[in-house]
């Protein structure tokens, strides 16, 4: 099999949550470039429409889907809409996530519960809904966009870190059930990525500079770098990779 084929998504369909911004947008675009049809979920309909126009220009199909991932009923409906649009979903990318930061002793319980609903429960529901078809076909990929804070501690990130640690644990548990059916489940744990959310949370020099100083590579990430890793995990090239928690953070957690 030629390398182009090993990294091709031709004939595949993917559901990407959070596709209207940041990492999700980059993943949807990279997957479409690799040949996949995309069901893109997001909250911003104008951005989804613009993404759909760019993807359609490549000759790939695009289905825009909206819905609140904090609502279990709407979350399952997101998966159902993707299935209705394409008949089957070969690749699920749980990219959508929220980050409400702050000290534990001042943290609002509502923000905690909302973070868990979007960052952990929604990926569980989407995986639960789409896994049966993948298992039946003996082929499928689930890619969870986690965070390095799911592995290492970071001040003022207790809720976000807990949700991403839970997502990492969900990744491994799903793998044990999916692997016998030739379905691969993996997680990507990025450093700060310069999305709009990343820039908003990490623009202050007093916060940014010490973090970068602790990172051997000396910089934050770009959305396309996470998308390229997701492409590897979605493509046949990674068929032996399963239950992996892949760090992409410039060496931060290695020192």
Q: How many CB atoms lie within 10 A of CB 201?
A: 17
Give the burial class of 162: count Cβ atoms within 10 A of its Cβ; 0-12 exposed, 13-18 middle, 19 or more buried.
middle
Q: Which of 107, 160, 232, 252 is catalytic?
A: 160
2 Cβ neighbours under 8 A, 6+ residues apart: none
Q: Spell out where the chain has E strands.
A: 13-16, 37-41, 62-65, 91-94, 140-145, 183-190, 245-248
232 part of the active site = no
Q: Measure the CA–CA gap between 150 and 255, rounded to whole angstroms.
A: 17
Query: Which two tokens mark 254?
Result: 């290695």
Query: Which two tokens mark 197?
Result: 């959310």
- Which amino acids are annotated catalytic? 160
């Amino acid at each position: 099999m030629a390398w182009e084929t090993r990294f091709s998504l031709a004939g595949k369909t993917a559901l990407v949550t959070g596709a209207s911004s940041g990492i999700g947008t980059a993943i949807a675009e990279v997957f479409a470039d690799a040949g996949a049809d995309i069901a893109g979920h997001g909250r911003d309909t104008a951005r989804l429409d613009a993404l759909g126009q760019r993807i359609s220009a490549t000759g790939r199909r695009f289905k825009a889907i909206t819905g609140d991932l904090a609502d279990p009923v709407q979350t399952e409906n997101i998966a159902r809409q993707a299935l209705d649009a394409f008949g089957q979903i070969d690749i699920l990318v749980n990219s959508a996530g929220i980050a409400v930061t702050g000290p534990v002793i001042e943290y609002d319980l509502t923000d905690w519960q909302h973070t868990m609903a979007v960052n952990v429960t929604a990926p569980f529901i989407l995986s639960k809904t789409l896994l049966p078809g993948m298992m039946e076909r003996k082929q499928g990929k689930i890619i969870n966009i986690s965070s390095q804070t799911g592995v290492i501690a970071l001040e003022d990130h207790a809720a976000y870190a807990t949700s991403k640690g839970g997502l990492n644990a969900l990744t491994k548990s799903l793998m044990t059930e999916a692997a016998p059916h030739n379905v691969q489940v993996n997680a990507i744990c990025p450093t700060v990525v310069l999305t709009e959310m990343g820039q908003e949370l990490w623009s202050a020099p007093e916060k940014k500079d010490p973090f970068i100083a602790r990172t051997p590579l000396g910089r934050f990430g770009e959305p396309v770098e996470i998308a390229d890793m997701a492409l590897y995990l979605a493509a046949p090239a990674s068929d032996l990779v399963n239950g992996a928690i892949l760090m992409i953070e410039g060496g931060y957690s290695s020192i």
